[in-house]
Amino acid sequence: MAIIHFYEKPGCFNNTRQKQLLVSAGHLLIVHDMLQYPWVDNRQRLRSFFADLPVAQWFNPSAPAIKSGEIDPAGATESQAIDWMVANPILIRRPLLEVDGRRRAGFDADNIDAWIGLAEAKPDTAIDLETCPKLHRAKACQP
């Protein structure tokens, strides 16, 4: 059992499913609202969740500014990405997870299972737990 700090967008369908999987696997969650978290004072902390991921993978691809083309993650520098995310946390890839000081972004079930364990709660690999299923609605990811 791990104690997991889970940073989510409240009401996000996939975050709800992710939390259910983690609890089913026996983990204890401490849930944080990533939209209200004071990232402006915690820029280095935010950066630490992304470890060695390419900058483009730091972003929530379902965020309206990304879907509309207003923001292009592929061309962002680390500093620019953090600036954008601090100004608009909906851009941050979800969830952010922290266990015993180790941090990660996103919910790749295989990686989560290897890291802290999902056991029998691990979903079918065909199930996408990161892409918003509400893609048909233009404002599906608005805070």
Q: Give per-residue pLDDT as tens, 53-101.
A: 999 999 999 999 999 999 999 999 999 999 999 999 999 999 999 999 9
**Residue listed under structure tokens 């600036």:** 83
Q: Is 21 in contact with 122 (CB distance < 8 Å)?
A: yes
Quote the CA–CA distance of 27 and 99 in Å, as a whole number.
10
**Residue listed under structure tokens 């004072």:** 41
- Which band of pLDDT confidence, cut at 50, 70 and 90, is reported for residue 33? very high
Residue 21's pLDDT is 93
Residues serving a catalytic function are 12
How many Cα atoms within 13 Å fall on the side-chain side of residue 5? 15
Domains of the chain and CATH, by start: 3-121 (3.40.30.10)
